């Protein structure tokens, strides 16, 4: 990751754009473990991971101590276990990505001598807003700009149109002088037409 960051800094300078995303061990925002990842963004070098932050709101050791001990024994047990505790996050699974991104952004200057001034995300404004509005600010003298990933826009556009076609199946509409059933199919909104619409949101 150090080599990848150095490669990016040499071609883009100290203020760079990065691609940010999060993932969880399981779906549904019920996961005890999450991951925040930061990748390079440049037309001059391939995309590579430059930083990650793993977060967990669960520690098996803590759970065992709490199940077996009470009172003063519990207090002493937790105190002795503190140095080995695996838990590094308190809160919901949905907040793991924003918390991880703030940590990644805050250490960018110390790690690599770079500031991540461009935030390329997947449309989830919560993580970007948490980083951009962090108190104290991530960077003292420069702001962070949000960029939209055209691939995610394409994906959402296609899904919404196909969902709308399915929702309108069986419904009758007036089109000119005749009535038609649904909005999909020949002469209407076909899958080919959906792909053409998606294409307008692609990278030129």
Q: At a CB cut-off of 8 Å and minimum separation 6, what does 14 contact?
A: 113, 114, 115
Average pLDDT of the residues in 61-80: 88
| Mean pLDDT value across residues 6-21 | 95
CATH number (3.10.450, 1.20.140, 3.30.420, 1.10.287) of 2-148 reads 3.30.420
Q: Name the segment(s) of the chain with CATH classification 3.30.420.
A: 2-148
Name which of 179, 182, 162 is nearest 170 in CA terms: 182
> Given the structure tokens 């991951």, which residue do they identify?
35
CB 11, CB 114: distance < 8 Å: no
pTM score: 0.73
For range 112-140, the mean pLDDT: 90
Cβ atoms 104, 120 nearer than 8 A: no
- What span, in angstroms and rounded, lies between the C-alpha atoms of 79 and 56? 19
Least confident of 35-39, 42-46, 169-173: 169-173
- What average pLDDT does the structure give for the chain? 88
């Amino acid at each position: 990751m150090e080599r990848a960051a150095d490669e990016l800094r040499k071609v883009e300078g100290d203020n760079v754009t990065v691609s940010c995303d999060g993932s969880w061990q399981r779906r549904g925002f019920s996961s005890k473990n999450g991951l925040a990842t930061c990748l390079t963004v440049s037309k001059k070098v391939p995309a590579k991971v430059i930083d990650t932050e793993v977060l967990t709101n669960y520690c098996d050791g803590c759970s065992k101590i709490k199940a077996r001990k009470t009172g003063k024994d519990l207090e002493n047990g937790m105190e002795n276990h503190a140095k080995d505790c695996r838990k590094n996050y308190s809160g919901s699974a949905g907040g793991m990505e924003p918390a991880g991104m703030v940590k990644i952004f805050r250490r960018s200057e110390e790690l690599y001598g770079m500031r991540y001034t461009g935030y390329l995300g997947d449309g989830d404004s919560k993580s970007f807003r948490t980083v951009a509005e962090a108190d104290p600010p991530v960077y003292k003298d420069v702001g962070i700009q949000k960029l939209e990933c055209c691939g995610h826009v394409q994906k959402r556009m296609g899904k919404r149109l196909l969902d709308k076609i399915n929702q309108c199946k069986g419904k009758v509409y007036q089109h000119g002088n005749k009535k038609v059933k649904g909005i999909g199919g020949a002469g209407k909104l076909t899958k080919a037409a959906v792909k053409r619409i998606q294409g307008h949101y692609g990278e030129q």
